[in-house]
A = this chain, B = another copy of it.
Amino acid sequence: MIDAKEYLKRMSAELDAPIRSYIGDEEPDNLMEASRQYPYAGGKRMRPAMAVACCRAVGGDASKAVPLAVAIEYIHNFTLIHDDLMDGDEKRRGMDTIHIGYGMPTAILAGDALFAKAFQIICDLDIPAEGMRDVLRYVSQAVWDLARGQQMDVNNEGQIVTEDVYIETIKLKTSVLFAAAAAGGAIIGGADEATVRAINEYALELGLGFQMFDDYLGVAGDSSKTGKSVGNDIRKGKCTCMITHAMRTIEDEAVLEEFKGILGNMDATDEQCLRARQILEESGSIQYALDLAKQKVDNAIAKIASLPESEDKEFMIALARFAIDRDV
């Protein structure tokens, strides 16, 4: 079985030079620097790796999917820059976020610039224009959906939403970009429509599992590894499927009241946050979230059952499993 982490590391090393090649020394310097900071700083590179792997898994020439991989990574980073500004986050990957380092206007513009650059790159894909148009359709739809998902996330803050709303939000906010990377890679690789659709659905399910696990890590992860302080998501009152599960299953009124008193309370102490986590543990909500994430990943893998066996298909499966089996 392929080790997804190893494969990602190798792919990440291969993608590093292309990711660094598209933002040249144009004026003004500060905008170029700000635009480069996040994409150049690394990360798991799951989305670009997926674009390349899906191209190869359908028998395509990986080198033709590399520009799409870069474009997807730029789009991902454009959303990170704007999200960090909206959320008022001050650090990412150990460095100042863009609005802290360069000011709010430059953070807005660096995001916009990465967004524009991604479409310039897609425009120049080395495939027939018809295929480029199909890739563009997936990617532009994904960015539209990303904005919707992020707005739903903003709207949900401090609210108890239903599990359906939670799933719709993370689908738009996270899955659609994975899905555009995967479908785009398959299109570049020359896959037929049914295969593109299957790969798109695989990535949609994978993205759901990935985000559910991310939300799990936010509450139950090892903060020395995730870099997120314990209880951050609890204090923010972030409504995930753990929370919705707890709300509908905790029967003891006193416990429920205690839990509600901590959730969304920005002044909650670390001790209170640990107590909230214990309540989630005891109500089975943490296990529930893990099970749901695992179910999404199983769905994802089932979607690509008919793809011919190959190292890249194995990676696609390994990547799905990795989405819910990581420390960070």
Q: Do the beta carbons of A148 and B27 come within 8 Å of each other? A: yes
Q: Copy number of this protein in the oligomer?
A: 2
**Residue A113 lies at the interface, judged by CB distance under 8 Å to chain B:** yes
The interface-forming segment of A36-44, A60-68, A102-110 is A102-110
* A137 contacts partner chain B, Cβ-Cβ < 8 Å: yes
Q: A27-B152, A28-B151, A108-B86 are in contact. Are A143 and B123 (CB under 8 A)?
A: no
| Segment from A127-135, A220-228, A286-294 that makes contact with B | A127-135
Main secondary structure of the interface of A (DSSP, over half): helix
Known: A108-B108, A151-B30. A141 touches B120 (CB 8 A): yes
Given contacts A119-B136, A123-B136, A155-B28, contact A108 B82 (CB under 8 A): yes
A302 interface hit (Cβ, 8 Å): no
- The 8 A CB mask of A306-326 against B (1 = contact, 0 = none) is 000000000000000000000
**Which residues on A are within 8 Å of B, measured CB to CB?**
26-28, 30-31, 82, 85-86, 104-106, 108-113, 115-117, 119-120, 123-124, 128-130, 132-133, 136-137, 140-141, 143-144, 146-148, 150-152, 154-155, 168
